[in-house]
Amino acid sequence: MTIGTLRARKREGQKISMLTCYDFSTAKLMEEAGIDSLLVGDTYAEVCLGHSTTLPAKLDHMVTITEAVRRGAPSAYLVGDMPYLSYQICSEEAIRNAGEFMSRAGCDCVKIEVDRRLVKTVEAMSAATIPVMAHLGLRPQSIQSVGGYKVQGKTAVDAIGLIEDAKMMEGAGAIALLLEAVPTEVAQIITESTSLPVIGIVSGPHVDGQVLVMHDMLGYGGGHPPKSVKQYAELYGQLVGAFRSYAAEVRSEAFPAAENSIAMDTTEVAELRRILSARGSDTTCAYPSSSPGV
């Protein structure tokens, strides 16, 4: 799965599936299920580490978990999420950090949260041969400045701004767009006016592909799931039930049963008891190196 594959999907009207992923085992499952693209999102800070925002995510940590996801899903289109302040300070630092991300983690592109103020950064990264997915609309790394998790582009004036920003990102060399919490009508206009693959999250059905946070669509808990998110499973209750059953069986000694335990051959048990009996009551001393069969 390459950017060429995603572009072909757009041209042919075939939708692209994307999910967030944070570990090797889950990546294997997602690739086996046929998920086209995996996003190692800085939402890891929320759904896995328990922070209230994505801001505490660090570059080294993101690289480490992205490496793990790549090992689990070698064929999926892999997007690495650049964490807070790893690209905003200056273009040179953005190039250096993104280059390290791609070379170490093996991702196919990096995602950065942008508006028109970062056009020069996207342009510089693209000139440095770093593929950039430009994240527009609701930008979780900027929630302190916008006042929380809010839909973006709800008014005609704001929508025009988003549409213009998207064209600027295409002109700057971005290879794909991600729209978050954008009205359906605005997302459709952007999607139809660009040759870039457009991935949406809570941005309606007219984009080229969809992405969800894994924990949201599995009903796993954590993060900031939007009210409109569709849950494909309810794992929270199932997992709590499984953990509760385990704890109860341990307390009642129902677990482990014989089939959950390892037993010695009866002849070896007899030999062990003979050796221990010959040594008397002290069974804690080390076995002499000269003892045959021990």
Structurally, the chain folds into a number of domains equal to 2
| Cβ(170)–Cβ(198) below 8 Å | no
Residue 240: how many CB atoms within 10 A of its CB? Answer: 11
Tell me the average pLDDT across 8-21.
98
Confidence of residue 148 (pLDDT cuts 50, 70, 90): confident
pLDDT tens digits for range 248-293:
999 999 999 999 999 999 999 999 999 999 998 565 555 444 444 4
Q: For residue 223, count CB atoms less than 10 angstroms from its CB and return exposed for 0-12, middle for 13-18, buried for 19 or more.
A: buried
Whether 190 and 84 map to the same domain: the answer is yes
Same domain, 263 and 205: no
Domain membership of residue 288 (yes or no) is no
d(CA 56, CA 153): 27
State whether 143 and 270 are in the same domain. no
In a domain, 283, yes or no: no
127 and 11 in a common domain: yes
Say whether both 136 and 259 belong to one domain.
Answer: no
**Crossing angle for the helix pair 156-172 and 119-127, nearest 10 degrees?**
20
* Residue 150: per-residue pLDDT: 83
Identify whether 34 is part of a domain.
yes
The pLDDT, as a whole number, for residue 269 is 97
Tell me, yes or no, whether 105 and 244 share the same domain. Answer: no
Whether residue 63 lies inside any domain: the answer is yes
Distance in angstroms (rounded) separating the CA atoms of residues 292 and 79: 59
pLDDT at 145: 78
Please give the pLDDT value at position 289.
47
Active-site residue flag, 268: no
284 found inside a domain: no
Indicate whether 223 belongs to any domain.
Answer: yes
Per-residue DSSP letter, 205 = S
Torsion sign, CA atoms 217, 145, 159, 115: negative
CA distance 141 to 112: 10
pLDDT number for residue 226: 77
Q: Is residue 256 reached through a cis peptide bond, with omega within 30 degrees of 0 on the bond before it? A: yes
Catalytic residue among 180, 185, 253, 259: 180
In a domain, 285, yes or no: no
pLDDT for position 272: 96
Domain hosting 43: range is 3-233
- Which DSSP string do the residues of 101-168 spell out, in sequence order? HHHHH--SEEEEE--GGGHHHHHHHHHTT--EEEEEES-GGGHHHHTSS--S--SHHHHHHHHHHHHH
Looking at the structure, tell me whether residues 168 and 34 fall in a common domain: yes
Q: What is the CATH number of the domain that holds 69?
A: 3.20.20.60
Contact 176, 197 (CB under 8 A): yes
Q: Are residues 69 and 164 in the same domain?
A: yes
The average pLDDT across 63-72 equals 98
Helices 119-127, 91-105: axis angle to 10 degrees equals 50
pLDDT digits 0-9 by tens, 93-142:
999 999 999 999 999 999 999 999 999 999 999 999 999 999 999 999 99
Residues 225 and 81 in one domain: yes
Contacting residues for 181 by C-beta, under 8 A, at least 6 apart = 137, 138, 149, 150, 151, 152, 201, 202, 203, 226
Percentage helix, strand, coil for the chain under 3-state DSSP, each rounded to 5: 45, 15, 40
Do 131 and 212 share a domain, yes or no? yes
**Cα dihedral angle (241, 246, 251, 257), rounded to 10 degrees?**
140
Check whether residue 244 and residue 105 sit in a common domain.
no
**Mean pLDDT in the chain?**
93
pLDDT of residue 282: 60
User: Which one, of 195, 204, 196, lies nearest residue 228 by Cα?
Assistant: 204
Stronger pLDDT, 217 or 226, i.e. the higher one: 217
Q: CB 248: neighbour CB atoms within 10 A?
A: 11
**pLDDT mean over 30-42:** 98
- pLDDT score recorded for residue 281: 58
Query: How is residue 52 written in tokens?
Result: 């209230």
Residue-wise pLDDT for 183-221, tens only, equals 999 999 999 999 999 999 999 999 999 999 999 999 987
Instruction: Report the pLDDT value the prediction gives residue 293, as an integer from 0 to 100.
Output: 46
Q: Is residue 265 part of a domain?
A: yes
Do residue 249 and residue 211 come from a single domain? Answer: no
